[in-house]
Structure 1
């Protein structure tokens, strides 16, 4: 039974409002943390410096999000709320776009359900409240797939240009978007005949996208060529950089892939096998999402094979590419970068994953259960289960996770005993800009190697006291400077 148009718009509005409330709630409460400080630092560079591909800046991200944030800061300031409002709004805008893509591929119901899963997704809410480029990447990824399908349906100049626009913008937002473009190209090669389109019409679209994206590849090459101390700090002894296929540990490729899809399903929850609530969420969420996914894939294989391939390629091709990249050995026996260890790098595939789950819940499972009442009951259970899973993880995020790295509290404690001119040393470059944002007393703040002995005669003679914030203690915030000692470890 099809939904009335007014009902569709009303349900979509309610989903958008719910998703907006979850993304705006507590938005400015947490300190600037994790990679946010570095994001602000780069956004405050001159735009011409960010976009200069011949003299790349010291980061491994493309310049688009930093450039947008540069002007956002000028317009709205640098409070935590104002800064995080940008990714929150981008994530909110993505909600109706998911509905439109679901409607284009299937129908209103599947589009609405996928939009709902995205709206309540703890993983997406978490990064909607983080000052990084991931929500912008999701938005451009969705629009590139949407206009690809629009072009296959109606190969007009408008759809041709819009696909190229959003495909290229996605690459300049994050380099891993190139894997999605690869998935789209594979889909086009496989199914252009089915849509009655000549190869001569689709090849120029991808060729132009590749040519316009080429400067991003040049920029990435030169960014990776910059040798910095942080390479050693971040990855030199990181156990996650030692990839394995067989060993049952955190560096196992299949274990990491499973964890990523688990986090896309129910968010970031601390593993606690002694907690009954965690065990209920862990086991039942795997059952609900796996059943919906398998039922959907099975049904789509016989009824909508080309759309199944579009979604499967969008969901599977980027992780496969990242798994291969993670496996590339360097001379020191480590990998290039533990890219597959961070779910945020694959967050842009989540809408396509949710579309597969939504299709399975609404079309696949009803084929397994013929009774109408049982079909409705099964859908209600899946709907409530997904909301419940994310409600549990959202409660954890809002009450506990969001309080980590409390640099504001740390700065307040330091200020009580701080004397002007004393140096402060951070034992990690990754936290430097976060502390600098919170502690604006004009202090001399330095980032130093973890093996540097700070209580030696040179430092002791030069300063009355030295304060050190150790990386391993900084996340709980209050392992802080002690004026009675030369350093705090």
Structure 2
């Protein structure tokens, strides 16, 4: 037993206590710290302190790191239909990368992903180059725009809202041309507002945007208008516009071919337009709602209605209390066009970059349906800047400033809520073709099973994940000729099981002729496999076959 110190042996002492004997856990931890400390090079602690101090002085890097962390979950998830089609086309030889008449998009993403496939075909790898990195760069560029035009605080809030937006997170993980043009849009806008104006940077970023998305011209036209207000130089304006036009001219013939092919598809398949586009007036409302609520289902539930009420209440309270100074009166500015033409300040420039591309794209959609929230992702930074820029407005009163912060924190809450919902709810995630393929392969032997898809080819995710499994396609035209259909379905005669995909089948077989013909052939429906987004895979088996109903 350890002895007390001499000064503590008196029975009258109340100031001394027994020496504390370190526990085994504490001893081990101290030894580990000492071991690690002695292994570090001289000055290591000082370097760490400098790095931490630098990060605290530059919080944008913490926001970018946070944005990256939020975009890692589900990055390795299954490709859905459009992503798999993109991956298949980009995997072709380099000489075939311009053979994209059937895919209504420019070629830049095709080339970018093609070179990425030289190293790996993993989902996360391809998405990283086509979506994740562009998304992170967009956040950084949006911060710079807010900082240069308004203040550091505006830039940080804009970056934070963009970093946490489930809408931006979702498309920073999608192998389609949405995140890429958003990056070029933010970089070209940054080049546009940076002094001195770098003409060549703006031209290169604009051309990259044009070769990434067919909706990018709506943003570019608006940027040209802003360029005039900022430079007031006809020579520079004409030079910039001319060089961009010359750079895009080689692609125009292919654009018209793609446009013609898309119009033909709309005529061949009645109802195809409803699959790839949104009704005009619904789209007008859907864009701002998706910008606010992200990937959440916009159903009239009580939580959603409550959130709409809170958002509307904060906006009305904010704008009503300061009617002469806030964004809600932008229309009043446009009422005085001569004055507006003489001076377009930074806030009005951001408003123009948001509203004009959306309005023009919406009007063009009456002729060619192109407007969808994901296709105008490039407008999301300007949407946030409309609100965050008020942080730098000197004339805003104390009460309005308080309401503004309430609104920004509400934005942040909605963003985080929808992001967590996206991670946990499969109905908000992409179609899981990879898992569906695994389920089918494990439960149905390829030698006695035939998969039927009512389209002109096997769906792209099926070809990507299971190219060898026996598959029959019926064509993309309406299934009406029963005699011809029976001839098409003859390969089912020597099969025990037939799996019919409902995916897009309502377009080509709305009267269920395929299912009727299988019944005539002696097959009986035995259940379904159900996956969110993909729908039913109907299981048909020979009458003498024993198979349990499969449900997911």
The alpha-carbon deviation at position 258 of structure 1 amounts to: 2.2
Per-residue CA distance 1:323-348 (angstroms, 9 max, x = gap): 221112xxxxxxx33x22x2111111
The residue aligned with 2:47 is: none
* Contact 1:36–1:132 (8 Å) recurs in 2: yes
Q: Which residue, 145, 167, 173 being the options, matches 2:189?
A: 145
Aligned counterparts of 2:503 and 2:385: Cα–Cα separation in 1: 40
Q: 1:120 to 1:418 in 2, by over 3 A?
A: same
* Contact 1:285–1:389 (8 Å) recurs in 2: no
Question: Structure 2-normalised TM-score?
Answer: 0.72
The alpha-carbon deviation at position 206 of structure 1 amounts to: 1.7
The residue aligned with 2:398 is: 370
Q: 1:84 to 1:211 in 2, by over 3 A?
A: same
Aligned counterparts of 1:241 and 1:424: Cα–Cα separation in 2: 25
Aligned counterparts of 1:319 and 1:80: Cα–Cα separation in 2: 31
Q: Which residue, 149, 173, 192 being the options, matches 1:105?
A: 149
* Contact 1:265–1:289 (8 Å) recurs in 2: no
Q: Which residue, 234, 252, 256 being the options, matches 1:221?
A: 256
The alpha-carbon deviation at position 142 of structure 1 amounts to: 0.8
The alpha-carbon deviation at position 396 of structure 1 amounts to: 2.4
The residue aligned with 2:74 is: 26
**Residue 468 in structure 1 maps to residue 500 in structure 2:** yes
Aligned counterparts of 1:73 and 1:272: Cα–Cα separation in 2: 39
The residue aligned with 2:388 is: 358
Per-residue CA distance 1:422-465 (angstroms, 9 max, x = gap): 54222356981012223244433536337436972552366423
Aligned counterparts of 2:491 and 2:290: Cα–Cα separation in 1: 51
The residue aligned with 1:331 is: none
Q: Name the SS for the 1:480 alignment partner.
A: strand
* Contact 1:423–1:446 (8 Å) recurs in 2: no
Higher relative contact order (CA 8 A, sep 6+): 1
The residue aligned with 1:117 is: 161
Q: Name the SS for the 2:81 alignment partner.
A: coil
* Contact 1:23–1:125 (8 Å) recurs in 2: yes
The residue aligned with 1:387 is: 412
Q: 1:90-489 maps to which residues of 2 (within 5 A)?
A: 90-150=134-194, 153-155=195-197, 159-193=198-232, 198-226=233-261, 230-232=265-267, 236=271, 238=273, 251-253=279-281, 255-273=282-300, 275-288=301-314, 296-297=326-327, 305-328=344-367, 336-337=368-369, 339-340=370-371, 342-360=372-390, 362-364=391-393, 367-370=395-398, 375=401, 377-400=402-425, 401-415=427-441, 416-420=443-447, 422-428=449-455, 432-444=459-471, 446=473, 448-449=475-476, 451-452=478-479, 456=486, 459-460=489-490, 463-465=493-495, 466-471=498-503, 475-477=532-534, 479-484=536-541
RMSD over aligned Cα, in angstroms?
Answer: 3.3
The residue aligned with 1:332 is: none
* Contact 2:317–2:403 (8 Å) recurs in 1: no
Unaligned stretches of 5+ residues in structure 2: 1-52, 334-338, 505-529, 544-548
* Contact 2:437–2:466 (8 Å) recurs in 1: yes
The residue aligned with 2:22 is: none
Per-residue CA distance 1:167-223 (angstroms, 9 max, x = gap): 000000112111111101122334433xxxx32123201210111122233321111
Moved more, 473-482 or 388-397: 473-482
The residue aligned with 1:89 is: 133
Q: Name the SS for the 2:71 alignment partner.
A: helix
Unaligned stretches of 5+ residues in structure 1: 243-249, 329-335
Q: Which residue, 41, 48, 55 being the options, matches 2:95?
A: 48
The alpha-carbon deviation at position 145 of structure 1 amounts to: 1.2
The alpha-carbon deviation at position 120 of structure 1 amounts to: 0.7
Q: 1:379 to 1:190 in 2, by over 3 A?
A: closer
